[in-house]
Structure 1
Amino acid sequence: MKLVKSPIALALCSCLATSLPLWANEVDQEEDLQPDVVVYGQALDPLTSSSSLDAEAIRQRPTGDGNLTDLLRTNPAVQFSNSSSSMNQGEIRPESISIHGSRAYQNSFRLDGMNLNNDLNPASPNLGVTLTNLGSDTQGFYLDSRLIDSITVYDANIPVEFGGFMGGSIEAQSRSWRGERGGQIYYRHTQASWNRTHIDRQLNFDSSENSRAHPSRFQPDYRKHSYGLNVETGLTDQLGVVFSLSRRESTIPSQHVGGLSVDLDEAGEHLVMFNRADQVKNQTRTSDQAFAKFSWYPQGGTELHWSTTYTGYTSSQFLNGSANSDYDEEHRGLGSQLQWQQQTRWGQSDLHLSWQQLEDERDSAQKYSVQLEDLSDWEHRRTYDSGGPGDLISRQENLTARSTFRWHPLVWGEWEQRVRVGAEVTRTEAEYERRAPFFRNGFIMTQGWDGEPNLMGGQVEAFFAGRHRADFTQTAVFAENTLSYGRWSFRPGVRVDRDDFVERTNLAPRFVASLDVFGDQRTRVTAGANRYYGRSMLTYALYEAQNAGLHLCYWGCTPNSMDNDWSPARDFEGMADLHTPYSDELSLSVSQIWGPTLWRVSYVQRDNRDEVRSRPKYPGTSDPIEARIRTFDNGGRSEHETLSLTVSHLDGVALGATTHHWTLTAAWQDSFSNTPKDQGYAFFDPNLNLNMDYVDYRGEIIRARDLPATDFNLPLRINAELISVYEPSQLSFYQTWHWGSSRDQATRHQNDYTTLPDSDQQVLKYERVRYSSTFRWDTKVRWEPSWAQGFGAALEVTNLLNNRNATDAFVHSNQVYRSYAPGRQFWLQLDYNF
């Protein structure tokens, strides 16, 4: 892929770079030339609903596996998925989050303004390992939270500069050199014997219970290590560098159940059977990060930052009970960004140029699979397998140029205005590749008339080799004006996006107004009405490729051979009429300063429209080929409400030599959706008589849009944080208490349907499952005494009281079990600062 040679992208970059000096005039020569004159980054706007954690706040909090989302557990706008479970604590990938009821893949992640989103397959539909998809994540870069300088969540009344989301925008800022020299080396560790696991008492919690579809669901044993290095230093008086390396790794010993296995002979034509012994094999997870950032301050008012980021994630697994089924999955992200900030007589100009490449790859030890269905004993049917899920590669490459200009405040009498304008363009190239054909060979064993086993060749499924590419350009222009008059503040703005994949222009107006009620900055009322358009449609552009190569041979088939009588099995038809999903937001908040405390009550309503869903293309057909074909439409919709209260102490409370900071948050939310929120982009039910406008919930037929959310649906949450610092011993003590109310959840444990009265149509059948309230107490103690010459230690304990908190339910071996949040967990960290 030669994205950087795209003539459109190069021409646009050249245009933006050339136009910048038109905005940037000569600066005052008497300005100070020291590198700490200009603070890079956007200050938090009081009209915007956002919350931020700086480096010190991150250092004081439990960081767990070190992902960005681990820092957001007390944010009232953020909900975590109910699927997080105590049974797979060996995993280190980021957890999914929802902001104001959005789907997990409809948030935007950025680092220093650079897009971190993964749009190839950002939402796995919880169906386990599949032959056509690579399990990926909403974040294209698995950043280590301990290596960033700050993180900000924008959740309502979001400025026009931010686009490509229906939930919120998570902005991480890396550390820039500011004339200092120093660094840190750290090591962290936890393991299964240090932690407690809560499980359903009816469940056999053993790794031997892992299935082919869910090869790592049960992880009773694991060991985790994290270590890293951060360094910053000056190269000249005006040039410096920040450099960091980190690795997070997990080892998960798992049972590989033996027994009778099947394979093909050396000629690849006939089935052979053999016995395989039980064994314990290690599954592994590894996440690496390398980051370097050069910062140059050539003159007062000018900053130039060039950074390069690499993150890599590798997962080594096997399909339990299947011979020769080892496979590796790798997710790699590489990005580079140039940031230029220039202070002029009229304002501040910013130019961002960035390039990212994301790649997901799966490599299977055996390049085909074999399945034998033993039907010789109808009462005890058995299936024997060998082989993994096959090799796949998917790539995404982006080249982005973004330029903004913020005028200095203009004052006319009592009026003051701050105007900001900008433009952004992203050229995307993506591909989905299968380098060699993958065969799934099926055999059937029955009992003959003479009582002897009879072996027959079944059908062969072949995914032909091929490559599918998708190229498109996204452009945006935006403008907003912050107006102040007396006690009033207004910020009208508009963002216009154009995506040449859906070939539509999306207009997103945004408006927020605020009143300083008494003119003393102590009581403020803020209201807003905004529209946000969703993430890139790239995954749909590539969906055609996933099953486009599937062909079937039904009879007289030769295993692992292209010389068969193939029938194409395409399951997809075009989606030329798709629109970009969007969210309409109404918000109202009141903030009040009482003494040393700040109180804020906020209400946010989101109406999400044009969400993409899939359905049978030919409902009611009797043609087996037509029955496989699905189509996409914009029939998905959801509604969400959030009411939250935040109380915080503006200044620390001093008691002797100890300073205390506390925050209390409470959030109530309610969500409804006509499509399951625990599924991915392409949730599909093959029922040809399915009516998607209604569902059966608790034995009653209701409209699908009135169905309570199936995930991210905790109605009431209360969080309290307390940070205590004892300066004489450099001892900090962080505590947080999480309480979640009881709830009812709409759940489909089995694939059940209900037939509508006086109709042959069916609807999805949901049950109501009741979950009790939950409570968790997390704490972290950090000690860094001055006499230790830079050495420090920290102990994190989550769920200190080891409470048993049920979160979800799942089906295993045709039985329904409850899943629980992790019990008491310990992390130990040692570090050295120099």
Structure 2
Amino acid sequence: MRFSLSTLTTAILTILTTSAYANDSNEQQEKNVALLPIIVKAQESQPLGKTIYTKQDLERIPNGSKNITNFLKINPNVQFSHDHLAASAQADLKPAEISIHGAQSFQNKFVVNGVSNSNLLDPMGSGTAIYGGIAAGSQGVAINTDLLCNLEVLDSNVSAKHGGFTGGVIQAETCAPNTEIGKIHGSISYDYTESDWNRYHLTTDADQGLFAGESTQSNQKEYVRQGVSTNLYGKLSEVYAFDAYVSQRRSEVPVASGLPSPTEIEQKKFNTNIGATLYIDPNAQTKMKLGVTLGDLEDNSYVDKRRHSQSTTQNESALMFAEIDQQYGWGELKQKLNYQQIDNDRTSSSDRGVNWIYAPGSKDWSNTEQAWEGATSADIALKQHSINYELDTILNSFDLGDTKHQLSAGFAYHYDNVQWQRSKDFITHYAVTSGPTQNLYDLKGASCQANDPLCDENSTAPFMSNKVLTVFNGQYFGGGSLYKAGQFDGTYQQASLYLEDAISWNNFNARLGVRADYDEANRNLNVAPRSSIRYQPFYNDSLTFTSGWNRYYSAPTYMTDLRQSVTSLDFNLKREDQNSDWTESPKTSWNTDTQKQDLKTPYADEIVFGINSQFKNTHLGLKWVNRQYKDEISRNQIGTGVNRYTVYDNSGYGENDTITLEVNTLEPIKFKGSQHELGLAINYTDAYRSTPDYTDVLIEEELQELISYDGKIIEHGDMPASNYNQPMTARVSWDIGFDTLPLKISNFFSYKDTYEQVLEASSADKVVHNGVKIDTYTLQEIKPRFTWDMRTTYNWNITQDYSMIFGLTINNITNRNNLYASGNKQYSEIGRQFIADVSFKF
């Protein structure tokens, strides 16, 4: 069912006209608010590098995608890929990838309800569609933010308690009930948008080419995206409480098949979350939690003009947890036992991929020189199953001389079982009609064997072969490639210890800690010092100086182990003629293999300095973070010709400087019956990285080679990062509430200054340096980008126990034409976009 634009008009009018219910008493509204499962705390100063977002923040910030990373557009320490607002990808449900302080996008640690939600196997989707290539992303469960009540971001000055990251730590929690005993509360929410509610600019040549014709896989100009979520919670007694939740978001994209029948295929995407938590408080000294969170992110795709090419990718994840928190006379003891499962699977409708020469009356389903059929990717399964135990001890504070101390220590054990599997043989036959690799031959009018799918007696249309116009009187394949089914497993253990002391002395506060991690995957014992020192000259929050020196070690990426065995399953297929049997022989070329050397664990050294001040109703913060990234894993090419291969090594490195200025109100400003909360964040980033990530192939010597960059001669490894490197940004938030009208308006303004995209010059334009032509890179200027996103909600209190909330989100409200660069071309971001939602709370 397609909604027309008039539906949007109806939604807007509905929200505006519901002001007729504004006569509900303030007393009635206060009773409803008391039923929410939220503990509203007074404004308090947060440690430098830590940001907490409440349920109210999650609901009011415009976030039509309903996922964690897209919500974090409000955080000035988070960088997005340049193309994350692409007009051609608005139906996608997969969370955007982010970088914190220049770290690689998969080097953040995601945690949901205390369980790691990070993909450690292959978050970048390394390898081709035959060897892997499942771009599952950094997160397991793509959790819907409608289900969350708390989101915490640790971007710098991170405690020794946390390990397994070099970017930041993002911790999400679902909603713990805080209601009266014996009553069940909850909410049901629905949101909707579609392509007719968008505006597209399509002003560049690249846009015109991408959006020409009908909707395709790479051009989602026609789509419907909608979602529903439900949350139930309640206190069953003084001891027991629970919350349960379920949500599903889906997109439907009609794409042109390029085939006579069917001419259009309905591509579907799903993101499903299901979970529940049981809270047990047997006494005042003991608290326990048991819970599970399940996620399924599904996407199906088709290849344009290719028959039987459907493939489905699923990311099925499970997080299970048990916690116990006990208070003793000497302090507090916390224990966690968690289980994590991430299964990334790709299945195709065929186990064979064939490219024929066009033959009228037979191989003629596409109007091109070749006719393609079957799959382009093998059936691959990547599995990560983990068990984790954590113990944290927090001692009561004690005095030592003039100082006060609070010691905390912890131990963690982590077990991973990971697996790469090709579940069935996959065969490819490509139409190579001449030369030493020829595998498609002229049948010369002979007959095919009965039921031979690789032989066709129909004559081909004229085609170019070795620069000669050629016609085959029938065609058959005499060669191909076989990629056999197989499986490779790895089991790894990690263990960690940490010790930390929080020290107070007069107007000084310090947190001194050390963390030790054993990484069995790389057989390394890594010791990371952590420190943070805070000085308040006036003994209060009016002025605070903070500094820190920290080291963070990355979590392992297990595909560096499994990839080195994959090509042992590769074989060549041959037959003498169409009547002969097929024979297979192992491939002798290792140019697709990646071997593993003894690797060091990548790490980052951090220096932090910050100044915070609170004056009257204003908080001001200035922070500088410097990160030095070392021993980054990259792929290094060894050898030449058919004997070349690649190895994983620690050739990568990088550096990032981030300067952030934040100003915000501490309490709402009251003005003529309205309340206003204001925030400003200005961020400057300077980053360079020798190689994008562990999938990029390079020769180590290339990093030291001289290149011409923007007219300067530098080493290749010193070139600025090509992505997640927006130099200057500004963010402004303005939230408005009213005394007598249950209407809220939240505005988010984002400005991204001019940035320069790195482009590689053609061979004809290379610069000569010391008599030698060197690789030359130029800069393409991308104009500033400005967006104004707004979210409006109207709360209709039906009765004391029931209420409806009508919401409307408008992204890029000014419909500005913002451009971004991808490759050597510029494309448009999405224009004005409307998203309507409604919630029922009880």
State the alpha-carbon separation in 2 of the partners of residues 509 and 554 from structure 1: 59
1:472 to 464, 467, 492: 492
Structure 1 counterpart of 2:637:
616
Q: Per the alignment, do residues 400 and 614 of structure 1 end up closer, same or farther by CA in structure 2, a change over 3 Å counting?
A: same
Structure 2 counterpart of 1:822:
830
Equivalenced residue count is 758
2:374 matches 1:387: yes
Displacement of 1:302: 1.2
Structure 2 counterpart of 1:579:
600
Displacement of 1:201: 3.2
Q: What SS does the aligned partner of 1:142 have?
A: coil
What is the 5 A alignment of 1:381-780?
382-388=369-375, 389-445=377-433, 452-453=471-472, 455=475, 457=477, 459-553=479-573, 556=576, 563-570=583-590, 571-572=592-593, 574-618=595-639, 621-622=640-641, 624=642, 626-627=643-644, 629-675=645-691, 677=692, 680-684=693-697, 693-698=705-710, 700-748=712-760, 765-780=776-791
2:817 to 781, 786, 804: 804
Bigger shift: residues 414-423 or 442-451: 442-451
Contact kept in structure 2, 1:782 and 1:795, CA below 8 Å:
yes
Aligned-partner residue type, residue 146 of structure 2: R
State the alpha-carbon separation in 2 of the partners of residues 159 and 207 from structure 1: 48
Q: What SS does the aligned partner of 2:560 have?
A: helix
State the alpha-carbon separation in 1 of the partners of residues 359 and 247 from structure 2: 52
Aligned-partner residue type, residue 824 of structure 1: R
Q: What SS does the aligned partner of 1:83 have?
A: coil
- What are the superposed Cα offsets for residues 312-368 of structure 1, whole Å, 9 maximum, x if unpaired? 011111011111101111110012100111111111111111001110111111111
Contact kept in structure 1, 2:201 and 2:828, CA below 8 Å:
yes
State the alpha-carbon separation in 2 of the partners of residues 641 and 750 from structure 1: 31
Q: What SS does the aligned partner of 1:729 have?
A: coil
Aligned-partner residue type, residue 736 of structure 1: F
Q: Per the alignment, do residues 294 and 536 of structure 1 end up closer, same or farther by CA in structure 2, a change over 3 Å counting?
A: same
State the alpha-carbon separation in 1 of the partners of residues 763 and 319 from structure 2: 42
Displacement of 1:763: 6.7
State the alpha-carbon separation in 2 of the partners of residues 722 and 104 from structure 1: 29
State the alpha-carbon separation in 1 of the partners of residues 162 and 306 from structure 2: 47
State the alpha-carbon separation in 2 of the partners of residues 331 and 197 from structure 1: 31
Q: Per the alignment, do residues 697 and 374 of structure 1 end up closer, same or farther by CA in structure 2, a change over 3 Å counting?
A: farther
Q: What SS does the aligned partner of 2:790 have?
A: strand
Aligned-partner residue type, residue 682 of structure 2: A
Q: Per the alignment, do residues 110 and 521 of structure 1 end up closer, same or farther by CA in structure 2, a change over 3 Å counting?
A: same
Identity, % of aligned positions:
20
Q: Per the alignment, do residues 50 and 752 of structure 1 end up closer, same or farther by CA in structure 2, a change over 3 Å counting?
A: farther
Q: Per the alignment, do residues 104 and 694 of structure 1 end up closer, same or farther by CA in structure 2, a change over 3 Å counting?
A: farther
Contact kept in structure 1, 2:189 and 2:230, CA below 8 Å:
yes
Aligned-partner residue type, residue 204 of structure 2: R
State the alpha-carbon separation in 2 of the partners of residues 727 and 248 from structure 1: 35
- What are the superposed Cα offsets for residues 240-275 of structure 1, whole Å, 9 maximum, x if unpaired? 1100010000001111112xxxxxxxxxxxxxxxxx
Q: What SS does the aligned partner of 1:198 have?
A: coil
Q: Per the alignment, do residues 595 and 178 of structure 1 end up closer, same or farther by CA in structure 2, a change over 3 Å counting?
A: closer
State the alpha-carbon separation in 1 of the partners of residues 498 and 383 from structure 2: 29
State the alpha-carbon separation in 2 of the partners of residues 423 and 284 from structure 1: 44
Q: Per the alignment, do residues 739 and 458 of structure 1 end up closer, same or farther by CA in structure 2, a change over 3 Å counting?
A: farther
Structure 1 counterpart of 2:197:
194
Aligned-partner residue type, residue 187 of structure 1: Y
Q: Per the alignment, do residues 700 and 491 of structure 1 end up closer, same or farther by CA in structure 2, a change over 3 Å counting?
A: same
State the alpha-carbon separation in 1 of the partners of residues 400 and 664 from structure 2: 36
- What are the superposed Cα offsets for residues 547-567 of structure 1, whole Å, 9 maximum, x if unpaired? 442223477488998732332
Aligned-partner residue type, residue 581 of structure 1: P
Contact kept in structure 1, 2:146 and 2:229, CA below 8 Å:
no
Aligned-partner residue type, residue 319 of structure 1: V
Displacement of 1:411: 2.2
Contact kept in structure 1, 2:200 and 2:830, CA below 8 Å:
yes
Q: Per the alignment, do residues 691 and 244 of structure 1 end up closer, same or farther by CA in structure 2, a change over 3 Å counting?
A: closer
State the alpha-carbon separation in 2 of the partners of residues 650 and 717 from structure 1: 23
Contact kept in structure 2, 1:47 and 1:514, CA below 8 Å:
no
Displacement of 1:521: 2.9
Q: What SS does the aligned partner of 1:73 have?
A: helix
Structure 2 counterpart of 1:19:
none
Structure 2 counterpart of 1:112:
113
Structure 2 counterpart of 1:8:
none
Contact kept in structure 1, 2:702 and 2:716, CA below 8 Å:
no
State the alpha-carbon separation in 1 of the partners of residues 580 and 77 from structure 2: 52
State the alpha-carbon separation in 2 of the partners of residues 464 and 758 from structure 1: 51
Contact kept in structure 2, 1:48 and 1:159, CA below 8 Å:
no
Q: Per the alignment, do residues 253 and 596 of structure 1 end up closer, same or farther by CA in structure 2, a change over 3 Å counting?
A: same
State the alpha-carbon separation in 1 of the partners of residues 579 and 717 from structure 2: 47
Contact kept in structure 1, 2:571 and 2:585, CA below 8 Å:
no
Bigger shift: residues 361-370 or 449-458: 449-458
TM-score, length of structure 2 as denominator length: 0.85
State the alpha-carbon separation in 2 of the partners of residues 161 and 90 from structure 1: 38
Contact kept in structure 2, 1:372 and 1:444, CA below 8 Å:
no
Aligned-partner residue type, residue 435 of structure 1: S
Aligned-partner residue type, residue 92 of structure 1: L
Aligned-partner residue type, residue 593 of structure 1: Q
Contact kept in structure 2, 1:444 and 1:457, CA below 8 Å:
no
State the alpha-carbon separation in 1 of the partners of residues 649 and 735 from structure 2: 49
Structure 1 counterpart of 2:793:
782
Structure 2 counterpart of 1:63:
63
Q: What SS does the aligned partner of 2:697 have?
A: coil
Q: What SS does the aligned partner of 2:196 have?
A: helix
Aligned-partner residue type, residue 809 of structure 1: S
Contact kept in structure 1, 2:48 and 2:546, CA below 8 Å:
no
Structure 2 counterpart of 1:134:
134
State the alpha-carbon separation in 1 of the partners of residues 101 and 81 from structure 2: 13
State the alpha-carbon separation in 1 of the partners of residues 294 and 558 from structure 2: 22
Displacement of 1:634: 0.5
Q: What SS does the aligned partner of 2:595 have?
A: coil
Aligned-partner residue type, residue 295 of structure 1: Y
Unaligned runs of 5+ in 2: 1-35, 361-366, 434-462
2:279 to 295, 315, 339: 295
Aligned-partner residue type, residue 240 of structure 1: A
Structure 1 counterpart of 2:441:
none
Structure 1 counterpart of 2:146:
146
Structure 2 counterpart of 1:184:
187
TM-score, length of structure 1 as denominator length: 0.86
Displacement of 1:671: 0.5
Q: Per the alignment, do residues 692 and 704 of structure 1 end up closer, same or farther by CA in structure 2, a change over 3 Å counting?
A: same
Structure 1 counterpart of 2:252:
251
Unaligned runs of 5+ in 1: 1-35, 259-275, 811-815
Q: Per the alignment, do residues 659 and 365 of structure 1 end up closer, same or farther by CA in structure 2, a change over 3 Å counting?
A: same
State the alpha-carbon separation in 2 of the partners of residues 541 and 63 from structure 1: 38
Q: Per the alignment, do residues 406 and 209 of structure 1 end up closer, same or farther by CA in structure 2, a change over 3 Å counting?
A: farther
Q: What SS does the aligned partner of 2:563 have?
A: helix
Aligned-partner residue type, residue 428 of structure 2: R
Aligned-partner residue type, residue 187 of structure 2: Q
Aligned-residue Cα RMSD (Å) equals 3.1
State the alpha-carbon separation in 2 of the partners of residues 577 and 44 from structure 1: 47
Structure 2 counterpart of 1:83:
83
Aligned-partner residue type, residue 804 of structure 2: F
Structure 2 counterpart of 1:25:
none
- What are the superposed Cα offsets for residues 128-147 of structure 1, whole Å, 9 maximum, x if unpaired? 85653212110011100110
